[in-house]
Copies of this chain bind each other. A is one copy, B any other.
């Protein structure tokens, strides 16, 4: 870890990361404490969750309807509608992960994928990035291989999507942002 002296003067508004000390390391999540100099010269020790794997998801469109999975999340103890999504495995592309997760979780192969958007879900805490794609030519393969990810798989039209968003039935940030963005920009 870099010595905690105030040798950096930053008048450009950049927060300078002068080094990170590991707190906990694993294949799933890493927690570190970063030695940070803020623009006004204040030093802070800032927790950072560094994720070994980013995540990818897919807005699958078929006859002007979007495929959503209804599922439970134990961390928040909530139920809600989500697009197929999951962790990008080592060596996998974001699009490859989005396609694999769609097939595993829904039984639909999205086919050709188009990048829709990407964002950092919590850039004040973690470096994880979400990569979202769209598909307009899905193919039904069969029952989902992974039965843990959804209790219902339903196609929703855009009126239904707006209602689900407004009523808090899409509370998963990845899905909330992806569906909102797709509606806001005319992608669906």
> CB within 8 Å of B: which residues of A?
12-17, 23-24, 26, 28-29, 31, 34, 36, 38-40, 42, 46-49, 51, 55, 71-78, 117-130, 147-148, 150-151, 162, 165-166, 168, 170-174, 176-177, 179-181, 183-185
Q: Is the CB of A171 within 8 A of B48?
A: no
Q: Is the CB of B148 within 8 A of A42?
A: yes
Q: Is the CB of A121 within 8 A of B171?
A: no
Extra contacts, 7 of them, besides A75-B125, A75-B127, A123-B171 (Cβ < 8 A), are A28-B47, A46-B74, A49-B126, A73-B120, A78-B120, A119-B171, A177-B177
Q: Is the CB of B31 within 8 A of A31?
A: yes
A105 CB, min distance to chain B CBs, angstroms: 13
Q: Is the CB of A121 within 8 A of B162?
A: no
Q: Which residues of B contact A180 (CB under 8 A)?
A: 177, 180-181, 183-185
The CA of A119 and the CA of B75, in the complex, are separated in Å by: 13
- Looking at A77, A78, A184, the one whose CB has the most chain B CB atoms below 10 A away is A184
Q: Is the CB of B12 within 8 A of A151?
A: yes
Given the interface pairs A13-B151, A173-B173, A184-B183, the reply to whether A123 lies near B165 with Cβ below 8 Å is no
